[in-house]
Amino acid sequence: MRLILKSVPAVLLFLSGSISAFAGTVTGTVRNATTGQTVAGADVVLLQLQGGMQAVANTKTDAEGRFRFDRPEIGGAPMLLRAEFRGVNYHEPLPPGKSTAEIQVYEPTDSPASIAVTSHAVIFQPNGAEILVGEEYTIENKTQPPKAFYRQNGSFEFNVPDGAEMNQVSAWGSSGMPVVQGTIDKGKNQMAIAYAFRPGESGVRISYKLAYPSNRLVLRSKSPYAAGRLIVAAPPSVQVSGEGLSPAGQDQGFSVYMRQSVAAGEAVSLSVSGTAPMNHPTGGGNASSGGESAGMPPADAGQNPSVNSRADSGGDAAAATATTIPARLDSLKWILVGGFGAVFVLGFVYLLRRPQVEMPAAPAGGAAVAAVHAPGHSSSASAAVANVDAAVSGSLDALKDNFFRLELRRQAGTISEADYARERQRMEKTLRDLVRG
């Protein structure tokens, strides 16, 4: 109970929308994660995300790598910090309630062997005479010592089909905050982005639309990178086929197909036919029910471990089930920088992401507390208390993340006011239950 009372104020401050203790101020450091040393004289920019990324303040780090911003915008809405190091920009999210930040930068490397594509996802959404296509490449950097892979003339290359009308390209790093990227035209339908891929997991998202005459399309997917897994998804009323693709169940109202491993430069023909209604991203899915409108996943982040383990172990993809896969935090944050909305949320890439802690029900916590105080249980009291503390701490952390996601969706316009009010009321009740427990 003491842990609850100690942690609840942070959530209550978020709910009130006035983080008075830290409003208007953020302090932090810029650290070279390759060497472990702080970086002096680094340019740091504070970015406002409403209406696009707008710089509202800039400064330089002092001799000890520290920086500080005092701005009225801080604390009122999600923002972004950017640091430049050796000609490369690095970003760190600044959600409401966060008053300190460490921006990690890295020594660069231009070796292509520094990164590997672990998966490539493609989602189709017919829309009348056009079809919307979203693609995501999940990329891993395992350099030791840790370095960022970067090439000014293009760190990541990708192909677009003939006649594609490009919408947007964005990239995300370990923080999960996508950043819109300018593209470099390499000719012959090949494009690139100059993005620094940090150690760990990153990704590139691409969205475009194509003509869809007679409700039929053959897309030749070709990448200069080998991919450990290909994931394809489309509404159930749309037929999809391709060499090596196997059905992998349904998720978020889409049919999912998988193929293990695609060689670098291998062209995979994906045949698509049929129609499907275009669901509006603000169409009122209820995250609390465990599923939203097709293409707009619920707010809770995670993955389906059973599907992931089957795919990673090389099991029969056709036997996998892709049901009840909750969304991840990253896919809601990226909407801040725009895109196709429903089609490019790419809920099926959640198969590849880590699970988050699920919030336990308050009555269970209350029962555990009662057990601690029951006669004859002194030998297990400390263990029970530790379990309760861990559960409550995880619940509050998850609750704060859920509130953050909800506010992001509201500002991005991807949730109706009615659904926003319903979700907020549900989470406030969860907080009250935790306090009572």
Ranges assigned E (strand) in 212-304: 216-222, 227-234, 239-242, 246-251, 254-262, 267-273
Domain-located, residue 284: yes
Q: Do 119 and 69 belong to one domain?
A: no
Sign of the Cα torsion 289, 293, 410, 181 reads positive
Give residue 275's domain range. 112-352
pTM above 0.75, yes or no: no
> Once rounded to an integer, what is the mean pLDDT over residues 135-146?
95
Looking at the structure, tell me whether residues 297 and 412 fall in a common domain: no
pLDDT averaged over every residue in the chain: 73
List, for residues 284-319, the tens digit of each pLDDT value.
333 333 333 333 333 333 333 233 332 333 333 232
Per-residue pLDDT of 154-187, as tens digits, reads 999 999 999 999 999 999 887 777 788 999 999 9
Distance CA 378, CA 380 (A): 5
Place of tokens 């861990």: 390
66 has pLDDT over 80: yes
Whether 134 and 173 share a structural domain: yes
Q: Where are the alpha helices (DSSP H) in 300-416?
A: 305-312, 329-333, 362-373, 378-412
Polymer length in residues for the chain: 437
| 357 is a domain residue | no
CA-to-CA distance for 427 and 402, rounded, in angstroms?
8
Residues 89, 242: Cα–Cα separation, whole Å = 39
**Do 189 and 278 reside in the same domain of the chain?**
yes
The Cα-based distances of 89 to 42, 55, 185 in angstroms read 11, 14, 21
In sequence order, which residues have a C-beta less than 8 Å from that of residue 425 and are 6 or more positions away? none
- Of 75, 90, 105, the residue that ends a domain is 105
CATH number at residue 331: 2.60.40.1730
One domain, residues 188 and 291: yes
Please give the single-letter amino acid code of residue 264. Answer: A
Q: What is the pLDDT of residues 213-261, one digit of tens each?
A: 999 999 999 999 999 999 999 999 999 999 999 999 887 778 999 999 9
pLDDT at residue 45, rounded to an integer = 97
Nearest CA to 426 out of 402, 408, 407, 397 is that of 402
What does the pLDDT read at residue 423? 81
Cα–Cα distance, 248 to 260 (Å, whole number): 12
